[in-house]
Chains A and B, each alone.
Chain A
Amino acid sequence: MSSSTQSTTHHTSTIGAIGAPSRRNTELAMLVFAVAIPMFAYANVGLAINNTVPPGLLAYGVGLGLLAGVGHLVVRKFAPYADPLLLPLATLLNGLGLVVIWRLDQSKLLQSIDQAGSAAPRQLLYTAMGIALFVVVLIFLKDHRVLQRYTYISMVGALILLLLPLVPGLGANIYGAKIWISVAGFSIQPGEFAKIVLAIFFAGYLMVKRDALALASRRFMGLYLPRGRDLGPILVVWGISIVILVFETDLGTSLLFFGMFVIMLYVATERTSWIVFGLLMSAVGAVGVASFEPHIQTRVQAWLDPMREFNLSRSGVHDGVMHSEQLQQALWAFGSGGTLGTGLGQGHSDLIRFAANSDFILATFGEELGLAGLMAILLVYALIVERGVRTALAARDPFGKLLAIGLSGAFALQVFVVAGGVMGLIPLTGMTMPFLAYGGSSVIANWALIGILLRISDTARRPAPSPAPNPDAEMTQVVRP
């Protein structure tokens, strides 16, 4: 308690200065920039593929600009002291994602296997829905501390969301992972929303329990070992993530939730032992489940030897599991991109075929923008996470701190899991790159996440009201013996 409060005061002294500028104009300028870059990319793709500036360029620019403008005006009105960078960074990623999805729509190969064709207009619709949710969050969530009241309701809500794909008739098994539900023709990934709801639960829970978790411990070999009974919550979350892994065969979501909990536990208690425990437990869980779950075994084999998987897929072997050449094709895409890339619209990342515009969208960026462009994209992600962590540092209440760190931690983990999977660093998991990838749930949920972060940062950076002058001070003096 004491040392974390210490950092609170430390940072309010540097960030929460009394006359903090609202920086809304900085945001507007960055936003104009962030809309102009995707327009440039769109024109570039059109020139490369069709030799003409795409006819929808102006409409696209106006559309994206309008969405971003609405977001900006709402922030200006309802969260005037919020962070100036989060909105432009998210807009840039979303806009670039739209352009690359449109670029893959043009691919004859993807059209012929019904993997693309009209994805971009739908993604634009999802973006509009995402911005709408962002606006709703900023207007109706006046103070993030309200969420604290719903700690245990969030827990129940998150569990329901996580388990929905397992409900027979509602869940849909797409490409081996059961993380979708289909409602009225739309497939939704409840896990994306569960991420936010679960962060609210963890923040509310850890805020209350962190003293017990942090202080009651024994020291052993340089580590503070928690008492047996305090291990309860981490064991429960671990169990849930194992259940997800086994029944939904989704390594990514499972890793995301457990990782988020460990990050928040570490931030709440400042005990390194939790990280050690977390890593050990996730390793044990992942290895244990992988030893009997064929879907995950396939993923691990594809990761260890993508070329073998590619050959198996090409030769059409039917041994009960689905082999995929995706990963090898993605690696070739990164390779052929080189340092400076082939240029937008001039790569062959459509050879990835399945999920080229969702899970594997990063490969298209890697090929067409090269290492230089990919690094810039990853830096934009890093900046979003940095702003989130900065918001957590500046937040004055422990709940806001934990919520901000949880949300930005989850965002960072998701980027790592997806980028690492596509680049062959870790086994591939079925998750989408936030904002870039095609997928309604992901875009909508991440806009809501940005909305909550903006709300927390507005509360954190808002100048403190000066104490009301005491009217009695000038006239009466209390005389005490």
Chain B
Amino acid sequence: MSELTLTVMRLGFLAVLWLFVIVAVQVIRSDLFGTRVTQRGSRRDGGRPQQQAPRQARQATPPPQRQQSGGGRQRRGAPTKLVVSEGSLTGTTVALQGQTITLGRAHDSTIVLDDDYASSRHARIYPDRDGQWIVEDLGSTNGTYLDRTRLTTPTPIPPGAPIRIGKTVIELRK
């Protein structure tokens, strides 16, 4: 085999090997640069968080909040993160990206509560069709409290209102 062919193959092989590594890194680029880019993009084109799970109409939403959520004002003031402000998970934040957030002691919950007063599937927080965030108690034993009132129906979350589950308090913030 001629010297030239072998040299070309040698360099070609190195190039292909590196190409593989680069492609592999491309596959996991979200690990390197975070998911923030796609997150912003989806919010821009959607206008507001896209809803996933709760396709069932949440008629329980009281009209005032829905009006509030209709205008541009709401979009500017929409909460972007969920913050745990009291309890063993204090300081935990979860970005609100239109997904349903489940709370409870079950291992597959979005926020796994390590709290004797919490049920395994305690409550969930999800955006309704208008992008208004709703908290719903999932039949917990000790109840979910919004401010001081115990929840009986899915209820919209006013900005800054504390949601109390056992010893854990969470808030939605901008």
Complex: A2 Cα to B112 Cα, angstroms: 10
Q: Which of A369, A396, A474 contacts B17 (CB 8 A)?
A: A369
Q: Which of B92, B100, B121 contacts A10 (CB 8 A)?
A: B92
- In the complex with contacts A6-B92, A383-B24, A478-B152, A37-B110 CB distance below 8 A: no
Q: Which of B9, B12, B95 contacts A13 (CB 8 A)?
A: B95
Contacts of A341 in B (CB 8 A): 10, 14
Q: Is B108 an interface residue (CB 8 A)?
A: yes
Contact between B114 and A5, CB atoms less than 8 A apart: yes
Contact between A51 and B1, CB atoms less than 8 A apart: yes
- In the complex with contacts A47-B1, A47-B5, A480-B150, A9-B11 CB distance below 8 A: no
Mark contacts of A369-388 with chain B using CB atoms, 8 A cut-off: 1 yes-contact digit, 0 otherwise.
11011001101100100110
Contact between B9 and A47, CB atoms less than 8 A apart: yes
Contacts of A85 in B (CB 8 A): 24, 27-28
Contacts of A18 in B (CB 8 A): 52-53, 99-100
Most B Cβ at <10 Å: residue of A9, A10, A44, A48: A9
Contact between A373 and B14, CB atoms less than 8 A apart: yes
Contacts of B24 in A (CB 8 A): 30, 85, 88-89, 380, 383
Q: Could you list some 25 contacts between A and B, CB below 8 A?
A: A6-B92, A9-B112, A10-B94, A13-B94, A17-B35, A18-B53, A23-B27, A26-B27, A30-B23, A47-B1, A47-B9, A48-B6, A84-B27, A343-B6, A344-B13, A369-B14, A380-B21, A380-B24, A396-B112, A464-B108, A467-B100, A467-B124, A469-B56, A470-B139, A473-B154
Complex: A377 Cα to B5 Cα, angstroms: 24
Q: Is A55 an interface residue (CB 8 A)?
A: no
Q: How far is the CB of A103 from chain B (nearest CB, A)?
A: 13
Complex: A358 Cα to B128 Cα, angstroms: 60
Contact between B99 and A37, CB atoms less than 8 A apart: no
Q: Is B144 an interface residue (CB 8 A)?
A: no
Q: Is A222 an interface residue (CB 8 A)?
A: no
Contacts of B138 in A (CB 8 A): 467, 470
Contacts of B53 in A (CB 8 A): 18, 466-467
Q: Is A40 an interface residue (CB 8 A)?
A: yes
Q: How far is the CB of A7 from chain B (nearest CB, A)?
A: 9
Contacts of B102 in A (CB 8 A): 464, 467
- In the complex with contacts A85-B27, A473-B153, A9-B111 CB distance below 8 A: yes
Contacts of B121 in A (CB 8 A): 467
Contact between A376 and B17, CB atoms less than 8 A apart: yes
Q: Is A276 an interface residue (CB 8 A)?
A: no
Closest residue of chain B to A26 (Cβ to Cβ) is B27
Mark contacts of B102-129 with chain A using CB atoms, 8 A cut-off: 1 yes-contact digit, 0 otherwise.
1000011111101000000100100000
Closest residue of chain A to B39 (Cβ to Cβ) is A14
Q: How far is the CB of B79 from chain A (nearest CB, A)?
A: 14
Contacts of A315 in B (CB 8 A): none
Contact between A48 and B1, CB atoms less than 8 A apart: yes
Closest residue of chain A to B19 (Cβ to Cβ) is A33
Contacts of B17 in A (CB 8 A): 37, 369, 373, 376-377
Complex: A470 Cα to B97 Cα, angstroms: 24
Top-7 shortest CB links A-B: A343-B10, A466-B53, A13-B94, A376-B17, A18-B99, A2-B88, A6-B92
Q: Is A115 an interface residue (CB 8 A)?
A: no
Q: How far is the CB of A452 from chain B (nearest CB, A)?
A: 18
Contacts of A30 in B (CB 8 A): 23-24, 27
Q: Is B25 an interface residue (CB 8 A)?
A: yes
Mark contacts of B1-38 with chain A using CB atoms, 8 A cut-off: 1 yes-contact digit, 0 otherwise.
10001110111111011101101110110010011000
Within 8 A of B (CB), among A289-326: none
Q: How far is the CB of B69 from chain A (nearest CB, A)?
A: 21
Contact between B99 and A9, CB atoms less than 8 A apart: no
Contacts of B152 in A (CB 8 A): 477-480
Closest residue of chain A to B32 (Cβ to Cβ) is A386
Complex: A466 Cα to B56 Cα, angstroms: 12
Q: Which of A33, A44, A89, A477 contacts B13 (CB 8 A)?
A: A44
Complex: A9 Cα to B93 Cα, angstroms: 8
Closest residue of chain A to B25 (Cβ to Cβ) is A383
Complex: A470 Cα to B25 Cα, angstroms: 43
Q: Is A8 an interface residue (CB 8 A)?
A: yes
Contacts of A340 in B (CB 8 A): 10-11, 14
Q: Is A272 an interface residue (CB 8 A)?
A: no
Closest residue of chain B to A479 (Cβ to Cβ) is B152
Contact between B89 and A6, CB atoms less than 8 A apart: yes
Contact between A9 and B94, CB atoms less than 8 A apart: yes
Contact between A379 and B21, CB atoms less than 8 A apart: yes
Mark contacts of A35-46 with chain B using CB atoms, 8 A cut-off: 1 yes-contact digit, 0 otherwise.
001001100100
Q: Is A12 an interface residue (CB 8 A)?
A: yes
Closest residue of chain B to A16 (Cβ to Cβ) is B110
Mark contacts of A325-346 with chain B using CB atoms, 8 A cut-off: 1 yes-contact digit, 0 otherwise.
0000000000000001111101
Closest residue of chain B to A14 (Cβ to Cβ) is B35
Q: Is A19 an interface residue (CB 8 A)?
A: yes
Q: How far is the CB of B12 from chain A (nearest CB, A)?
A: 8
Q: How far is the CB of B121 from chain A (nearest CB, A)?
A: 6
Q: Is A271 an interface residue (CB 8 A)?
A: no
Contact between A397 and B107, CB atoms less than 8 A apart: yes
Contact between A376 and B14, CB atoms less than 8 A apart: yes
Contact between B27 and A9, CB atoms less than 8 A apart: no
Contact between A1 and B112, CB atoms less than 8 A apart: no
Q: How far is the CB of A372 from chain B (nearest CB, A)?
A: 5
Q: Is B77 an interface residue (CB 8 A)?
A: no
Q: How far is the CB of A334 from chain B (nearest CB, A)?
A: 16
Closest residue of chain A to B57 (Cβ to Cβ) is A474
Q: Is A34 an interface residue (CB 8 A)?
A: yes
Contacts of A84 in B (CB 8 A): 27
